[in-house]
Amino acid sequence: MNRSLRAFATLMFSTACLATVQAQGKLDLNKVNTALDNAAEQIKVLAERSAENMLPKTYDSGKNFDSETGWWTSGFYPGTLLYLYEHSGDKELLALAKQKLTLLEKEKFNTTTHDLGFMLYCSFGNAMRITGDTTAYKEILLKGAESLATRYSPVTKSIRSWDFDNFPVIIDNMMNLEFLNSATRLSGNQKFYDISVTHANTTMQNHYRKDYSCYHVVDYDPETGDIIKKKTNQGAFDESAWARGQAWGLYGYVMMYRDTKNKKYLSFAKKIAKYMLEHPNMPDDLVAYWDYDAPDLPEDSKYLKYKHYRDASTAAVTASALLEMSTMVKGKLSKYYLQTAETMLYNLSTASYTAEVGSNGGFLLKHSVGSIPHNSEVDVPLTYADYYYVEALLRYKDLIK
Ligand code: GLY
């Protein structure tokens, strides 16, 4: 089905879909607690298998792979430890997190990446929230936000993602805005919030298509702000809907509604959710393929053999966003978002996706995809899939207890 036909069909059948969604399995409080207890045990396995001065990234063919602190995923492991400490009260998890935070602190000076929200807010942001220790963490967060703000251009009205191409902005960058919003709350300096809102508005205008799917990358002319090219980096092709990108966008606009209370972000997030959840290629277990267009790849596509690969990280990020959305709307829609997230989490928590404690190199979830076009991290566990899965379990638990 072409894109506009699909958008029309989605519009026509949306109400019917909404009314008929049922959780495929009940994720009751006991099951959530078991999943979190197992995660707290499993992450200690990961701790033992990772280098002391590095951060866990993934596991493949019997080997664990760690990263330096400058890699974009460095904040997720300490963040997951902190979430699991929050769940269990296990001081060993807090100590493990603190040891990694000490390594990570120097990234507050890093002005070469847009990923500082992932790196510093998922880690130090959670540390400050959970321990209540503002003295130790506030300065780190504010210095990091200053570093991120250096990448903003008033010409493109965006934060630059990568230091190659012209002025590329990737949809993932929406996730870093939470960090900037919090920096304004912490410091009273309006600058961070203004950058965040402007970036979100520019992205809304330029990354999204009529059907509310998004491009992965928009490359701007840094001198004029004109768009040079809209394309993909990790998706199947330029016009495709790379799955995790859709999830980053959804989560980003939900969070922007939370932080600004501007209804246009919530209404936008609802449209993104509709695109994702009602997509004809969404599998029954709601764990998306790595690209929404992957199952329809033509016979001559170089990625054909991957057409049915799933991305558990997309499901984890989406579930977490939907749970928050369920608190922002009322009635049937709220129930729909909650039940959809429940189905995602229920399925992620089965043996199809959750590793047995002691296996999978200590990571929680199996079957994520880093980047198929780069032949990198294909059908493996990923530290961010685990982070958002645990976050979503905690959000879900909060809503049902
Ligand atoms: N931010 C890179 C990714 O989602 O793979």
From the CA of 360, how far away is ligand 1's center (Å)?
Answer: 21
Residue owning tokens 């540390």: 127
Which of 171, 172, 217, 377 has most ligand 1 atoms within 8 Å of its beta carbon, as the pocket-test mutant? 172
- Provide the pLDDT for residue 310: 98
Distance, C-alpha 267 to centroid of its chain: 19
Check whether 11 has a pLDDT greater than 70.
Answer: no
- Provide the pLDDT for residue 205: 98
Task: Decide the pairing of beta strands 368-371 and 152-153.
Answer: unpaired
- Closest ligand 1 atom, residue 244 Cα: 4
- pLDDT digit string, tens, across residues 211-257: 999 999 999 999 999 999 999 999 999 999 999 999 999 999 999 99
- Provide the pLDDT for residue 25: 75
- pLDDT digit string, tens, across residues 85-113: 999 999 999 999 999 999 999 999 999 99
Q: What's the mean pLDDT when you consider all of the chain?
A: 95
Token code pair at residue 365:
């979830």
3-state helix, strand, coil in the chain (%, to 5): 55, 10, 30
Taking the whole predicted model, whether its pTM rises above 0.75 is answered as: yes
How many residues belong to the chain? Answer: 401
Check whether 4 has a pLDDT greater than 70.
Answer: no
Distance, C-alpha 132 to centroid of its chain: 25
**Dihedral Cα 398, 314, 270, 338, nearest 10 deg:** -30
CA 192 – CA 186 distance, rounded (Å)? 10
**DSSP classification of residue 284:** T
Binding-site residue positions? 115, 172, 232, 244, 248, 371
- What residue owns the CA closest to ligand 1's atom 1? 172
Q: At what angle do helices 331-348 and 312-326 cross, to 10 degrees?
A: 150
From the CA of 115, how far away is ligand 1's center (Å)?
Answer: 9
Check whether 195 has a pLDDT greater than 80.
Answer: yes
Query: For 157-168, what is the mean pLDDT?
Result: 98
> Pick from 205, 177, 188, 292: which is nearest to 245 by CA?
292
The yes-or-no answer on residue 172 being catalytic is: yes
CA 195 – CA 205 distance, rounded (Å)? 15
From the CA of 398, how far away is ligand 1's center (Å)?
Answer: 28
Q: Which of 2-16, 254-268, 360-374 has the lowest mean pLDDT?
A: 2-16
Query: In this structure, are residues 334 and 324 in contact, taking their beta carbons and an 8 Å threshold?
Result: no
Binding-site residue positions for substrate? 115, 172, 232, 244, 248, 371
CA 51 – CA 57 distance, rounded (Å)? 11
- What residue owns the CA closest to ligand 1's atom 5? 370
pLDDT cut 90: percent of the chain above it? 93
From the CA of 314, how far away is ligand 1's center (Å)?
Answer: 10
Query: For 252-281, what is the mean pLDDT?
Result: 98
Check whether 345 has a pLDDT greater than 90.
Answer: yes
Task: List, by residue range, all CATH 1.50.10.10 domains of the chain.
Answer: 1-49+276-401
**Which residue out of 172, 259, 291, 386 is catalytically annotated?**
172
Which of 244, 251, 376 has most ligand 1 atoms within 8 Å of its beta carbon, as the pocket-test mutant? 244
Sheet strands side by side (includes 227-231): 167-170, 217-220, 227-231
CA 372 – CA 369 distance, rounded (Å)? 7
pLDDT class of 14 with cuts at 50, 70, 90:
very low
**Which residue out of 66, 115, 211, 293 is catalytically annotated?**
115
The string of DSSP letters for 71-88 reads STTTTHHHHHHHHHHHHH
Check whether 20 has a pLDDT greater than 70.
Answer: no
CA 335 – CA 354 distance, rounded (Å)? 25
- Closest ligand 1 atom, residue 245 Cα: 4
Query: For 187-215, what is the mean pLDDT?
Result: 98
CA 314 – CA 286 distance, rounded (Å)? 10
Check whether 179 has a pLDDT greater than 90.
Answer: yes
- Closest ligand 1 atom, residue 115 Cα: 1
CATH class entry, domain 1-49+276-401: mainly alpha
Q: What residues are in contact with ligand 1 under a 6 Å CB criterion?
A: 72, 172, 234, 244, 370
From the CA of 369, how far away is ligand 1's center (Å)?
Answer: 10
Query: In this structure, are residues 23 and 339 in contact, taking their beta carbons and an 8 Å threshold?
Result: yes
pLDDT class of 24 with cuts at 50, 70, 90:
low
- pLDDT digit string, tens, across residues 276-307: 999 999 999 999 999 999 999 999 999 999 99
Tell me which H or E stretch contains 377. strand 376-380
The yes-or-no answer on residue 115 being catalytic is: yes
From the CA of 172, how far away is ligand 1's center (Å)?
Answer: 6
- Provide the pLDDT for residue 279: 98
- Closest ligand 1 atom, residue 170 Cα: 1
- Provide the pLDDT for residue 3: 54
